[in-house]
Amino acid sequence: MKQKETLSNIQEREVDPKEFEEEHVASSIQTPLRPDAFEMEDHEKMAHIEHHFREIMKTLGLDLTDDSLMGTPKRVARMFVKEIFSGLNPLNKPHAKLFDNKFQYNEMLVEKDITFYSNCEHHFVPIIGKAHVGYISSGKVIGLSKINRIVQYYAKRPQVQERLTMQIAEDLKATLKTESVGVVIDASHLCVSSRGVGDTNSTTGTAHFSGKFKEPDTRAEFLNFINTQ
């Protein structure tokens, strides 16, 4: 049986890009960023992206003097930096204020059907899905909207679904100071439906359970919550 190659082995040799075109290689829970990722200001990044996207459009043979196309490079640049990839910038991380659990509510809290839009880091096409998040307080709680904001923050970057699931879970554990967190994500990947195999019906599911959510009864209660209309 051929042994599966590690990421380090792949990096050490010259590779035909087609060989790994469909592989989902993810190096860690952290989004891969260069040390100098934030040395440029947003306006500088947008200027660079605008220039290079204009060259891509020219290469494709598009006429940028056309009224409909001439503003596209600038629009795409702003969209990349300020919108769909704004979660790359730590300055955009939502600040979640903690409150004492004054009601002594010790059962799970579930926020389900959080719609998010992300982008596959392998082809830069959309991932559209729903996240379901639950936690059990260890003494502190956060506002409900902050759970949504945390999901959106990590979704707004080039992603793989497994990493997105873990990033949401780890952030919530650190923020809430509890290990008892459950995250389930169900999503459609346009890299599957709009290209490649062209399967428009399949969805991808991922999950993270920690603390009390690893207990079968607690996990079953959580899954029952998110599956109940």
Q: Which of 50, 167, 191, 208 is catalytic?
A: 191
Q: Which of 50, 111, 122, 167 is catalytic?
A: 122
Q: Which of the 8 DSSP states describes residue 107? A: S
- Annotated catalytic residue 95: no
- Annotated catalytic residue 111: no
Q: Which of 123, 170, 179, 221 is catalytic?
A: 123
How far, in Å, are 53, 82, 111, 142, 148 from residue 145 at the CA level? Answer: 35, 21, 9, 8, 5
- Annotated catalytic residue 121: yes
**DSSP E strands: which ranges in the chain?**
98-100, 108-120, 126-136, 140-142, 158-159, 181-189, 204-209
Q: Which of 50, 111, 121, 152 is catalytic?
A: 121
How far, in Å, are 7, 158, 178, 211, 215 from residue 30 at the CA level? Answer: 15, 12, 20, 21, 27
Q: Which of 50, 111, 120, 208 is catalytic?
A: 120
Pairing of strands 108-120, 126-136: antiparallel
- Annotated catalytic residue 191: yes
- Annotated catalytic residue 41: no
Q: Which of 50, 159, 189, 208 is catalytic?
A: 189
Find out whether 202 and 192 touch, Cβ atoms under 8 Å.
yes
Q: Which of 152, 159, 161, 167 is catalytic?
A: 161
- Annotated catalytic residue 24: no
- Annotated catalytic residue 122: yes
Q: Which of the 8 DSSP states describes residue 60? A: T
Find out whether 211 and 179 touch, Cβ atoms under 8 Å.
yes
Residues serving a catalytic function are 120-123, 161, 189, 191
